[in-house]
Structure 1
């Protein structure tokens, strides 16, 4: 099936940003329940969610603000207080379809642009209308869903896939393991036909929209179609879950963006990441 063109308006962006907000909230609540020493927390601000999971990482961020109406100065002050009281910078994702007052208030309070991420989307046909389901195996790559008891193995593979040569693995295995208990998330292994793990990926489902995230390939297996197989498997999962839209967020011009576009996702807008640090 050829993906149909995508026109993005406020309503579609609001769905995407609501899924982002739901995902950051869900992870924070799972961490708060299962790893209380982390002091994870969530606040409802300006129609969105501000989540704290661990200091100084993108896991602690706000999303969905300003999608339902104007943002007041007191909203941004509440955002600042939430993060400053937890000893970390305030980080917020901003849609270009958010109310203009959001950027105005953030600018007044000294937030700076940190990066622009690329949002890609693909409409999904109902599962009953798909004549040839996307395969679980492609080019010698087998993809299957990870069981909850396989969380440690999935996390180890993910940390390996995203590792920076010469640097120690980041802290946070307990955070990701808590995420395995989120009923909205599903995690996947890719492996060779001989059983060796070659890559990983995950998907989060919220109100018929699927967020593809955490797609990574182990260094020794790159360039062999692993990520395409993982993307296809997650799209098939999303379709089976009744989703009508899938999306993902990547660094602009990255290998991940190229892989997603090859699988039919289309770049539709840039999501701004703004930050304010506190002394």
Structure 2
């Protein structure tokens, strides 16, 4: 049976997402050591600013902890404005509908969507490794950064295009911050050559698949399948795995082929860009 997502499950996932964003932003603050940035609680979620152009600059997990006040939103918007950054809210379709109404009244614009998919985990899973492909855990950050950075720089064009683009240096900084908060890293080799990389982290029993990328020369050869399989096999003790994808993307197709179900969609609302 497909995995059904009710409001309680969506809240659990969104709280894990908010925690990851908060801890990653705090890791960025420690790395920079300049006293800049912030992490603010808001309506069950978190507003965070890590550094200029960072993917951690957002409001995540909003809408499952009651309605936020106009005063608190004023404070959050002022904090982003102080850093000359727009406010980006990622709002689950299962969040309190009044949140979306409040944001649109305040001038937030709908700019995109992203899909959250999930897989119920039970018995230990076997690794699926296509011929010629090898996946291994790595404690080395730099080789993993290089392959992930190179792969994201040549993004797959299938599906709805992302509304965001990040400088290479910013992507690498974000990956270092992920590594600092317990994200496990994987490298994939195909015919002996580094072909891709991926990562995941465990938060409250949820295996958060935090990114996978394959170099263009190695795509469509089972690298993504192998990276996904390795992470799921290592997610012992978790009852749920989740991944976020662009709608209609190859990544979404790949995880659905491995049994993931579409749980809900997040609306991306922006003010001040």
CA distance in 2, matches of 1:34, 1:56: 16
Q: Which secondary structure does the structure 2 equivalent of 1:215 belong to? A: strand
2:185 aligned with 1:187: yes
Q: What is residue 142 of structure 2 aligned with on the other side?
A: 152
Q: What is residue 116 of structure 1 aligned with on the other side?
A: 113
Report how far residue 37 of structure 1 moved. Answer: 4.0
Q: What is residue 267 of structure 1 aligned with on the other side?
A: 262
Report how far residue 152 of structure 1 moved. Answer: 1.3
Contact 2:113 2:267 in 1 (8 A): yes
Superposed CA offset, 1:196-226 (max 9, x none) = 2111111121100111122110111011000
Question: Which consecutive aligned stretches of 4+ in structure 1 deviate over 4 angstroms post-superposition?
Answer: none
Q: Which secondary structure does the structure 1 equivalent of 2:169 belong to? A: coil
- Deviates further, 213-222 or 55-64: 55-64
Q: Which secondary structure does the structure 2 equivalent of 1:8 belong to? A: coil
In the TM superposition, 1:89-108 aligns within 5 A as 89-108=86-105
In the TM superposition, 1:51-66 aligns within 5 A as 51-66=48-63
Question: Compared with structure 1, are the counterparts of its residues 38 and 236 closer, same or farther at alpha carbon in structure 2 (3 Å cutoff)?
Answer: farther
In the TM superposition, 1:229-240 aligns within 5 A as 229-238=226-235, 240=236
CA distance in 1, matches of 2:131, 2:225: 10
Q: What is residue 132 of structure 2 aligned with on the other side?
A: 140
Q: What is residue 9 of structure 1 aligned with on the other side?
A: 6
Superposed CA offset, 1:218-244 (max 9, x none) = 111011000010011111122x1x110
Superposed CA offset, 1:173-209 (max 9, x none) = 23422321212x1111111252x21111111211001
Report how far residue 57 of structure 1 moved. Answer: 4.4
Report how far residue 168 of structure 1 moved. Answer: 10
Q: What is residue 194 of structure 2 aligned with on the other side?
A: 197
2:26 aligned with 1:29: yes
Contact 2:206 2:240 in 1 (8 A): yes
For normalisation by structure 1, the TM-score amounts to: 0.88
Gaps of 5+ in 2: 156-164
Contact 2:199 2:211 in 1 (8 A): yes
CA distance in 2, matches of 1:53, 1:168: 14
CA distance in 2, matches of 1:95, 1:110: 18
- Deviates further, 78-87 or 226-235: 78-87
Q: What is residue 173 of structure 2 aligned with on the other side?
A: 174
Q: What is the aligned length?
A: 263
Superposed CA offset, 1:222-273 (max 9, x none) = 11000010011111122x1x11011111110001001111111111221111
Contact 1:113 1:275 in 2 (8 A): yes
Contact 1:95 1:272 in 2 (8 A): yes
CA distance in 2, matches of 1:124, 1:40: 36
Q: Which secondary structure does the structure 2 equivalent of 1:224 belong to? A: coil
Q: Which secondary structure does the structure 2 equivalent of 1:82 belong to? A: helix
